[in-house]
Chains A and B, each alone.
Chain A
């Protein structure tokens, strides 16, 4: 299994508070991703990174920001959490091999915004 960890694994927070989720990899992969999983929607891309300090938006980026200051860490921040951001968040990584786009996922973080 790819070495990907996420912290925390579970979090309950109140509306309006900032929240940061952390993804850590030991594979030295170039690409890192944040997804959210919601019933009926599958996995939707929030933000992704293609290198240190290089990030871009996904399809559901509103209300989220990311940072990547080291290859191994990719942080997702909810600036002011809302109940609509209650979800399960997954981090994923992939390498730099053209024509092969497998991504490998972390165990997920269950976030509840009350």
Chain B
């Protein structure tokens, strides 16, 4: 049973606009959440994370928001750039193991 869900398999956004990726989880024991970015034929790379004691974390163009009561997190990318075209995975942890969502493919249009 998948504990982390990304319900949008794909997202297309115009360059310069905001990309919003969503993720839901079911396990209330998760206390740390991460986003990874993956290009074809490469391994996933860590992008940004957030602890359950926070509701927002920013790193440059990337911001992650956490709503614990709704068991929902989102990743905002502003402004979107062509190099952001990739697959984005949401992940959650309560220990040293991660549970991943199925991924969202982001395409940034010129």
Q: Which residues of A contact B (CB under 8 A)?
A: 4, 31, 33, 35, 40-45, 48, 50, 58, 90, 92, 94, 99-108
Which of chain A's residues has its CB closest to B42's CB? A107
Q: Is the CB of B43 within 8 A of A102?
A: no
Query: Any chain A CB within 8 A of the CB of B62?
Result: no
Interface positions of B (Cβ within 8 A of A): 4, 6, 32, 34, 36, 41-46, 49, 51, 89, 91, 93, 95-103
* Interface secondary structure of A, over-half rule: strand
Chain A residues within an 8 Å CB radius of B96: 31, 48, 50, 94, 101
Smallest Cβ distance from B89 to chain A, in angstroms?
6
Q: Which residues of A lie under 8 Å from residue B34 when comparing CB positions?
A: 101-102
With contact pairs A50-B96, A58-B97 given, residues A40 and B102 touching in the complex (Cβ less than 8 Å): yes
Instruction: Give A25 Cβ to nearest chain B Cβ, in Å.
Output: 13
Question: Cβ of A101 and Cβ of B93 under 8 Å apart?
Answer: yes
Tell me whether A101 and B44 are in contact (CB under 8 A).
Answer: no
Chain B's closest residue to A39 (CB) is B102
Min CB–CB distance A103 → chain B (angstroms): 6
In the complex, the chain B residue whose C-beta lies closest to that of A107 is B43
